[in-house]
Amino acid sequence: MLLRSRLLKTAPSWKQLSVCSKSKFSFGKQTRYKSTDASEDEVKHFQELAPTWWDTDGSQRILHKMNLARLDFVQRTLRNQVKIKDPEIFVPGFNYREFLPGYVCDNIQREMQDSIETSLDEKLKMSVLDVGCGGGILSESLGRLKWVKSVQGIDLTRECIVVAKEHAKKDPMLEEKVSYECKALEDVTGQFDIITCMEMLEHVDVPSEILRHCWARLNPDKGILFLSTINRDLISWFTTIFMGENVLKVVPKGTHHLSKYINSKEIIAWFDENYGGQFQLLDLKGTMYLPLQGWVEHDCSDVGNYFMAIQRLK
Ligand SMILES: CC(C)=CCC/C(C)=C/CC/C(C)=C/CC/C(C)=C/CC/C(C)=C/CC/C(C)=C/Cc1cc(C(=O)O)cc(O)c1O
Ligand SMILES: C[S@@+](CC[C@H](N)C(=O)[O-])C[C@H]1O[C@@H](n2cnc3c(N)ncnc32)[C@H](O)[C@@H]1O
Ligand SMILES: [Mg+2]
**pLDDT, tens only, 282-303:** 999 999 999 899 999 999 999 9
Query: Whose CA is closest to atom 31 on ligand 1?
Result: 63
Identify the top-confidence range among 20-24, 68-72, 84-88: 68-72
On whether both 49 and 102 belong to a single domain, the answer is no
Q: Is 188 in the pocket of ligand 2 (CB under 6 A)?
A: no
On whether both 266 and 291 belong to a single domain, the answer is yes
Q: How many C-beta atoms surround the C-beta of residue 34 within 10 A?
A: 18
**Could you give the number of structural domains in the chain?**
2
On whether both 95 and 217 belong to a single domain, the answer is no
The answer to the question of residue 12 being in a domain is no
Residue type, 285: K
Q: How far is CA 72 from CA 128, 195, 249, 254, 267, in A?
A: 16, 16, 26, 28, 22
- Domain extent at residue 89: 83-124
On whether both 53 and 181 belong to a single domain, the answer is yes
On whether both 136 and 274 belong to a single domain, the answer is yes
The torsion defined by the Cα of 78, 79, 84 and 88, in degrees rounded to 10, comes to 170
On whether both 142 and 178 belong to a single domain, the answer is yes
Of the two residues 194 and 18, the one the predictor is more confident about is 194
**Interface pTM (ipTM) of the complex?**
0.93
- Determine the average pLDDT of the residues in 45-69: 96
Residue 236 has pLDDT above 60, yes or no: yes
The answer to the question of residue 4 being in a domain is no
* β-bridge partners, 309: 226, 283
On whether both 144 and 186 belong to a single domain, the answer is yes
Residue 36 has pLDDT above 50, yes or no: yes
Sorting pLDDT into bands at 50, 70 and 90, what band is 38?
confident
Residue 162 has pLDDT above 60, yes or no: yes
Q: How far is CA 75 from CA 79, 139, 145, in A?
A: 6, 14, 9
Q: Is 46 in the pocket of ligand 2 (CB under 6 A)?
A: yes
CA angle, residues 191, 314, 177, in degrees to nearest 5: 25
Phi, psi angle pair for 195, to nearest 5° = -120, 130
On whether both 104 and 243 belong to a single domain, the answer is no
Q: Is 198 in the pocket of ligand 2 (CB under 6 A)?
A: yes
- Determine the average pLDDT of the residues in 131-155: 96
Residue 120 has pLDDT above 90, yes or no: no
The answer to the question of residue 27 being in a domain is no
Tell which atom from ligand 2 comes closest to the C-alpha of 160: 27
Query: Whose CA is closest to atom 10 on ligand 2?
Result: 200
DSSP 8-state secondary structure symbol assigned to residue 5: -
Residues 6+ apart with CB under 8 A from 177: 143, 148, 149, 150, 151
* Residues 150 and 139: beta-carbon distance below 8 Å: no
On whether both 225 and 113 belong to a single domain, the answer is no
The answer to the question of residue 7 being in a domain is no
- Residues 141 and 177: their CA atoms lie apart, in Å, by 11
Task: Tell me, in angstroms, the distance from the centre of ligand 2 to residue 169's CA.
Answer: 21
Based on the number of CB atoms within 10 Å of its own CB, is 290 exposed (0-12), middle (13-18) or buried (19 or more)?
exposed
The answer to the question of residue 269 being in a domain is yes
The number of angstroms, rounded, from the C-alpha of 216 to the middle of its chain's C-alpha atoms is: 16
Task: Tell me, in angstroms, the distance from the centre of ligand 3 to residue 198's CA.
Answer: 8
Task: Tell me, in angstroms, the distance from the centre of ligand 1 to residue 261's CA.
Answer: 13
Which CATH number belongs to the domain containing residue 288 in this structure? 3.40.50.150
- Residues 61 and 57: their CA atoms lie apart, in Å, by 5
- Residues 164 and 145: their CA atoms lie apart, in Å, by 18
On whether both 94 and 228 belong to a single domain, the answer is no
Residue type, 249: K
Residue 44 has pLDDT above 90, yes or no: yes
Task: Tell me, in angstroms, the distance from the centre of ligand 1 to residue 235's CA.
Answer: 9
The answer to the question of residue 29 being in a domain is no
The answer to the question of residue 304 being in a domain is yes
The answer to the question of residue 35 being in a domain is no
pTM: 0.87
